[in-house]
Structures are given as C-alpha cells and as structure tokens.
Structure 1
Amino acid sequence: MKSLQDALYNWLTIKVVCDARPEDSAAKETLEFFDDMLTNQHHVSNIETTTDEMMYYLSYQQGEEIKKARYPRELIEIMLDQINNEPEKYENYPTEE
C-alpha cells in the first residue's frame, strides 16, 4: 500500500473493530498487519486517536515530524456497523496454537 493516508484509514478502521471486539482474532491479525506496514513502510510511530461526534483525529510521528489526519466517523465505523448488523457473517474462529 503506497499511500500513507490509505494505510492510516485501514489501520483506524480495523482498530475500531478491535476495540469493540477484543476477542476477534482476525481483526487483531489485521491490525498487526497495518501496524507493521505503518511502522516499516511509512515510518510512523506514536499514533494517538481522539474522536468527537463527527470525526476521528489521528496524531502521529513520522520520522522527526508530528503530523495529523482526520477521518469522518461514518467512513471509519462502516466495517464495525456491518459486523454488528450481520454478526453471523463475521463469526470469530479460534486461532490454532
């Protein structure tokens, strides 16, 4: 994924799912994938998130620079809404260890 904005968007979308569904192993693995991409490909660290009624706000460090991004809640929460509306399609399967 070449675009930092796309990687941040995908990371935030799956983070919202992980926060709402801490037992969801697929969501955790996907979040780890985007964490790794942000760290290794885009050199992003120290991501902080806040939200209000309309937006999610990110503050993050890229190299030595502090940067910010924002995303509409309706776009970020679409995956979680879909999971909540059709939970039978998103069953959590245990991981093999």
Structure 2
Amino acid sequence: MTLQDALFNWLQIKIVAEARPDDRAAQETMQFFEEILREDHHLEQFAVTSDETMYRIQYGSAGQLKLQMYDRESAEQLLSDINSNPKYNE
C-alpha cells in the first residue's frame, strides 16, 4: 500500500472513529492503519487539521515534515456511506 493510500485510508477511518466513538470496529481499524503508517512507512508523527473544504495531514519522520491534503467531500465519504446504511445505525 502506498503512503498516500495509507494516509487517506487512515484519515477516512479516523473521521468515522471520531464520529462514532462507540464503534469498536472503527477504532480497531484506525489503529490498524496507524500501525501501517508507523511500521511500513516509518512515520513518527501524523496529525490532521481541517477547514470547510480540505483536510490536511502533517506527517513525518527523522525531523522531516510533509503535508498531504485531501478534499473534505472525499475524506468524509466513508462516514456518509456508513451513516446512510441502516444496517450500521441500529
């Protein structure tokens, strides 16, 4: 999995996990992607900020920081899909 894919997957599930704090599967999946970021991509830090249109992930290792941006609609699509499915909202 590429770094950009791992960051995006982590961002999407982080959004879901924060919106659904009692959703154990979401919490575990977020931890899974955090492990991928740490172990496979050797990231020491990654943090999210957002505004009305974008999510920004600042990430890095060995003192070098980078920034990856994703549009808000794409990043929140997984949460929207989950919320629109009655199976996951019982």
- Normalised to the residue count of structure 1, the TM-score between the two structures is 0.86
Larger radius of gyration: 1
* 2:34 is equivalent to residue 35 of structure 1: yes
Moved over 6 A (4+): none
Task: Give the CA deviation at 1:64.
Answer: 2.8
Deviations, residues 17-75 of structure 1 (Å, cap 9, x unaligned): 00000100111111111000000000112211111111100111133311110001111
Paired residue secondary structure (1:66): strand
Residue aligned with 1:43, SS: coil
Q: Which runs of 5+ in 1 are unaligned?
A: 93-97
Alignment of 1:18-29 (within 5 A): 18-29=17-28
Q: Which 5+ residue runs of structure 2 have no aligned equivalent?
A: none
Normalising by structure 2, we get a TM-score of 0.92
Alpha-carbon contact 1:42-1:62 (below 8 Å) kept: no
RMSD between superposed Cα atoms in Å: 1.4
